[in-house]
């Protein structure tokens, strides 16, 4: 049985839009943070998910520090 999970969260703060994504397919996953300023793409940071994070997501547990290492400083 294959496990697939996708989640997209969009945050808006004035002219800045932040998109946070989590994608898992089978036992491989990634997370990314993308920044848009005035509707223009500025930067994307993409990281692999650790096996511990994938197991927490499969069990539907909250991970507060999930995007801490995906900082887009613009």
pLDDT by residue (tens digit) across 35-46? Answer: 999 999 999 999
Q: How do strand 40-48 and strand 4-13 relate by DSSP bridges?
A: unpaired
Own/partner pairs, 26-30, CB within 8 angstroms, 24+ separation: 26/2, 27/3, 27/51, 27/54, 29/5, 29/53, 29/54, 29/57
Residues with Cβ < 8 Å from 72, sequence gap 6 or more? Answer: 18, 33, 34, 35, 42, 43, 44, 45
Is the model's pLDDT at 70 over the cut of 90? no
Rounded to an integer, the average pLDDT of 61-69 is 92
What pTM, to 2 d.p., does this model score? 0.87
Rounded to an integer, the average pLDDT of 19-41 is 95
Could you give the CA distance from residue 56 to residue 68 in angstroms, rounded to a whole number? 16
């Amino acid at each position: 049985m294959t496990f697939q999970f996708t989640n997209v969260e969009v945050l808006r703060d004035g002219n800045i839009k932040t998109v946070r994504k989590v994608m898992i397919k089978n036992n491989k996953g990634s997370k990314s943070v993308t920044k848009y300023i005035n509707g223009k793409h500025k930067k994307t940071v993409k990281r692999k998910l650790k096996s511990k994070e994938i197991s927490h997501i499969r069990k539907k547990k909250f991970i507060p520090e999930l995007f801490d290492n995906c900082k887009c400083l613009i």
